[in-house]
């Protein structure tokens, strides 16, 4: 297809993150004339200050345990020392390489890249500086931004944006929050050698995950040296003369640290986007309201990914971008299935899950069987490390269908990814039981659990 004469483009995308890049590439491949507007590094949160650099830091933080474990296998490691600038700067080099790859991907797909801040000026127009661009369809894919509440001393904290570029690595760190990012960075700080605290205002972090996993991970993290403070909310931070920070909590407790990182959620990055010039509706938190086809109340404007406040995961944004492109410029009829989406938390040890939790299953099904196994990984029988693994299967007793699989342990994400295929295919517990395991692996435990615990 070719662009209609009254518009500069068929499809104009604001934001070159995961969802925006995927949607633009697919649309261009389907014959649309497409441009992407971006005012910062390509790749969005995931590539620049999210999934990718975080996982690199997780890898780096594991070595302290690996050095300790090596002795049990006959290796004399000797003195070790962590050099923060090396990890930080090599991470940055890798991210810059990926930025270039994203640019090449867009160029190779025939997508024009417009550098600058896009501000929507009407249902079919976007201003970048003094230049106006028009399009039949506009896609808002600007993602989110870390949210830090205001309180006395909040100017002294950092977010997940700044943590990847710290000048010095802290000797003592506090992470505030109870979601993916908070739990992951508590493990990163501790693994890299910081005396680490994590504070969460509720009784247990990782809300929405299976309760057994949440409690298991909390115990494992404390064994690894993370000081967990539940039912604790920061009330004040005071900067001392030596640059350290005195943190006061609502329960009267005080601690002193060198760095406070807030990971208390993210907000849609819609401020200053010009949506007031359209009929687009937003929620109180700034996220954009869309229908099942990602269309806003302004028929020519669409939105997807983190900015719509749904499931904020990179693969979800990719799926939404692909579906939208096909619905606008292809055969149509594409829908993203939000059931049984697998996910992982790169905590230490890792968490991975797919399907219903035990509590969710009991709400939905009359008869639920739970299979659970807790054990020490074979590696740690020689390493001497106390880390343990938890695996759990949720089954509908009436149909034998597997409703959920959950794991805490080494390489949990790699294992659950395969089980997600089985669950989406409708596997039953009998199929799990008849599957021959790969021995010796931790993963084989998922096909050898025979007796339900409840």
Q: Grade residue 2 by pLDDT with cuts at 50, 70 and 90.
A: very low
Q: What is the pLDDT of residues 335-391, one digit of tens each?
A: 999 999 999 999 999 999 999 999 999 999 999 999 999 999 999 999 999 999 999
Q: How many CB atoms lie within 10 A of CB 27?
A: 30
Q: Mean pLDDT, the chain, as a whole number?
A: 97
Q: What is the mean pLDDT of residues 199-223?
A: 98
Helix axes 211-223, 180-191, angle to 10 degrees: 20
* 279, pLDDT greater than 70: yes
Q: What is the pLDDT of residues 67-124, one digit of tens each?
A: 999 999 999 999 999 999 999 999 999 999 999 999 999 999 999 999 999 999 999 9
Q: What are phi and psi of 134, to 5 degrees?
A: -120, 155
Q: Nearest to residue 113, comparing CAs of 222, 16, 256?
A: 16
Q: What is the pLDDT of residues 247-275, one digit of tens each?
A: 999 999 999 999 999 999 999 999 999 99
Counting Cβ atoms within 10 Å, is residue 53 exposed (0-12), middle (13-18) or buried (19+)?
Answer: buried
Q: What is the mean pLDDT of residues 310-318?
A: 97
Per-residue tokens: 229: 């403070």
Q: Tell me the C-alpha distance between 123 and 169, whole Å.
A: 47
Q: What is the mean pLDDT of residues 295-323?
A: 98
Q: What is the pLDDT of residues 5-56, one digit of tens each?
A: 699 999 999 999 999 999 999 999 999 999 999 999 999 999 999 999 999 9
Q: What is the pTM of this model?
A: 0.96
* 1, pLDDT greater than 50: no
pLDDT of res. 447: 98
* 309, pLDDT greater than 70: yes
Q: What are phi and psi of 209, to 5 degrees?
A: -85, 165
Contact status, residue 321 vs residue 313, Cβ threshold 8 Å: no
List the catalytic residue out of 156, 229, 380, 439.
439
Range 269-302 burial, b when 16+ CB lie within 10 A, else e? bbeebbbeebebebeeebbbebeeebbbebebbb
Q: Which spans in 245-293 are helix H?
A: none
**In this prediction, what percent of the chain has a pLDDT beyond 70?**
99
Does the annotation count 439 as an active-site position? yes
Q: What is the mean pLDDT of residues 278-288?
A: 97
pLDDT of res. 5: 62
Q: What is the DSSP string of 37-85?
A: EESS-TTHHHHHHSHHHHHHHHHHHHHHHHHHHHGGGT---------HH
Q: Tell me the C-alpha distance between 16 and 10, whole Å.
A: 17
323, containing H or E segment:
helix 314-329
* 3, pLDDT greater than 80: no
Q: What is the mean pLDDT of residues 123-130?
A: 98
């Amino acid at each position: 297809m070719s662009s209609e004469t009254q518009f500069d483009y068929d499809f104009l995308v604001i934001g070159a993150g995961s969802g925006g890049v995927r949607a633009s590439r697919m649309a261009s491949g389907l014959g649309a004339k497409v441009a992407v507007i971006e005012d910062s590094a390509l790749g969005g949160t995931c590539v620049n200050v999210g999934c990718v650099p975080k996982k690199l830091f997780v890898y780096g933080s594991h070595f302290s345990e690996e050095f300790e474990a090596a002795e049990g296998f006959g290796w004399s490691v000797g003195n070790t020392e962590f050099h923060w600038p090396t990890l930080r700067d090599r991470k940055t080099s890798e991210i810059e390489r990926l930025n270039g790859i994203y640019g090449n991907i867009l160029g190779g797909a025939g997508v024009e890249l417009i550098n600058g801040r896009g501000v929507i000026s009407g249902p079919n127009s976007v201003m970048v500086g003094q230049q106006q661009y028009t399009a039949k369809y506009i896609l808002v894919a600007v993602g989110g931004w870390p949210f830090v509440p205001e309180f006395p001393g909040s100017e002294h904290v950092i977010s997940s944006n700044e943590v990847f570029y710290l000048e010095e690595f802290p000797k003592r760190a506090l992470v505030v929050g109870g979601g993916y990012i908070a739990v992951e960075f508590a493990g990163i700080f501790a693994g890299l050698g910081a005396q680490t605290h994590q504070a969460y205002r509720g009784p247990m972090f990782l809300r929405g995950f299976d309760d057994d996993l949440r409690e298991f991970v909390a115990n494992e993290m404390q064994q690894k040296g993370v000081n967990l403070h539940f039912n604790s909310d920061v009330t004040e931070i005071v900067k001392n003369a030596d640059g350290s920070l005195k943190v006061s909590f609502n329960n009267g407790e005080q601690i002193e640290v060198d760095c406070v990182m807030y990971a208390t959620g993210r907000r849609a990055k819609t401020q200053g986007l010009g949506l007031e010039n359209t009929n687009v509706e937003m929620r109180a938190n700034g996220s954009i309201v869309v229908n099942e086809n990602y269309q806003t109340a302004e028929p020519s404007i669409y939105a997807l990914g983190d900015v719509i406040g749904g499931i904020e995961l990179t693969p979800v944004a990719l799926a939404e971008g692909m579906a939208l492109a096909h619905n606008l410029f292809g055969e149509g009829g594409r829908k993203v299935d939000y059931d049984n989406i697998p996910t992982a938390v790169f905590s230490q040890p890792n968490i991975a899950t797919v399907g219903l939790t035990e509590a969710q299953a009991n709400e939905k099904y009359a008869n639920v069987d739970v299979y659970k196994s807790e054990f020490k990984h074979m590696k740690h029988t020689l390493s001497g490390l106390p880390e343990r693994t938890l695996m759990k299967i949720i089954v509908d007793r009436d149909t034998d269908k597997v409703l959920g699989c959950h794991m805490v342990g080494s390489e949990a994400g790699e294992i659950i990814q395969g089980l997600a295929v089985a669950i989406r295919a409708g596997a039953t517990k009998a199929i799990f039981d008849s599957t021959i395991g790969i021995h010796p692996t931790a993963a084989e435990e998922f096909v050898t659990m025979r007796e339900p615990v409840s």
